[in-house]
Amino acid sequence: MADLTPAQIYDLLNRPKPLWLAGINLSNARLSGANLRDSDLRQANLQGADLSGVSLRGANLEGADLRGANLSFANLSGATLNAANLGHANLQEANLREAHLIRAQIQQVDFTDALLYQALFTHADLTGSIFDGAHCKGANFFGAVMNQVKLENAHMTGALLPSGEFTADTELNREEI
């Protein structure tokens, strides 16, 4: 799909919702604060986009390219990000409650203080990601790759670890992963 001008993006974002944007190229777009709730963004190119404070609640981002995107303070609750690439994205203080990130590429992502209640990270690659202060109660990390993950002050009660064991305590040490 051809690149869109800022005027075309503005027009697109002001159309009736939900938006059907599968495969769209919005790389490096500035969409801060936009309402993309329930939008279809499958296979979309959002690499390097500013999505801070965006509502993507219930959106379908399956297979989307979000590498290096700024999703700080974004609402992705209930969103589908299966097989998406979020490498080096900023998800500080984002809401990913009940989001699906199955088999997603999530290397070196910053989830500091993010809400990840009951999020599904099954078989995702989380290598080098930061979960400092993140709220991961009931999150599912079964089969996930968690090499060099930082979990300082992460709240992990009831989370399912890659090994299939549930956490009873809020805090984990590195050896438990």
Q: What CATH homologous superfamily does 1-177 map to?
A: E3 ubiquitin-protein ligase SopA (2.160.20.80)
b/e per residue, 13-22, with b = 16+ CB within 10 A?
A: beeeeebebb
pLDDT at position 148 is: 94
Alpha helices in the chain (DSSP H): 6-13
What whole-number distance in Å separates Cα of residue 85 and Cα of residue 124?
10
pLDDT at position 176 is: 52
pLDDT at position 28 is: 95
Q: How many Cβ atoms sit within 10 Å of the Cβ of residue 68? A: 17
pLDDT in tens, 33-83: 999 999 999 999 999 999 999 999 999 999 999 999 999 999 999 999 999
Q: Which helix (H) or strand (E) holds 75?
A: none
Q: Is the pLDDT of residue 177 over 80?
A: no
Q: How many Cβ atoms sit within 10 Å of the Cβ of residue 171? A: 13
pLDDT in tens, 89-144: 999 999 999 999 999 999 999 999 999 999 999 999 999 999 999 999 999 999 99
